[in-house]
Amino acid sequence: MTTVLSIEQNLFDLAPGSYAMDWDNVGLLVGHREAQVKKALLALDADDATVAEAVEEGYDLLITHHPLIYKPLYHLTGDSGPERRVEALLRGNVALVSMHTNLDAARGGVNDALAEALGLTEVEDFLNEDAREGIPSIGRVGTVEEMAPAAFLEQACRALDTNGGRYYLCRRVRRVAVGGGGCADYLTDAYRAGCDTFLTADCKYHNFTLAADLGINLIDLGHYATEYVVLPRMKSRLEKAFPEVEFTLSARERDVVGVVAPPKKG
Q: What is the pLDDT of residues 120-159, one digit of tens each?
A: 999 999 888 888 888 999 999 999 999 999 999 999 999 9
- What is the total residue count of the chain? 266
- Please state, rounded to an integer, the average pLDDT across all residues of the chain: 95
DSSP per position, 86-105: HHHHHHTT-EEEE--HHHHH
Lowest mean per-residue pLDDT among 55-59, 96-100, 188-192, 254-258 = 254-258
H/E stretch holding 248? strand 246-249
CB 165 within 8 A of CB 224: no
What is the rounded CA–CA span in Å between residue 12 and residue 33? 14
Condensed to tens digits (0 to 9), the pLDDT of residues 58-108 reads 999 999 999 999 888 888 888 889 999 999 999 999 999 999 999 999 999
Q: Which domains are present in the chain?
A: 4-99 (3.40.1390.30), 107-226 (3.40.1390.30)
Residue 266 has pLDDT above 80, yes or no: no
What is the rounded CA–CA span in Å between residue 233 and residue 166? 26
Give pLDDT, residue 131: 81
Residue 221 has pLDDT above 90, yes or no: yes
Percent with pLDDT over 90 in the chain:
87
Give pLDDT, residue 162: 92
Tell the burial category of 186 from Cβ atoms under 10 Å away from its Cβ (0-12, 13-18, 19+): buried
Give pLDDT, residue 84: 95
- Residue among 140, 135, 153 nearest 112 (CA): 140
Q: What is the pTM of this model?
A: 0.95
Give the pLDDT band of residue 164 (cuts 50, 70, 90).
confident
- Residue among 211, 196, 115, 198 nearest 148 (CA): 196
Strands (E), 77-196: 95-98, 121-125, 140-147, 166-168, 173-178
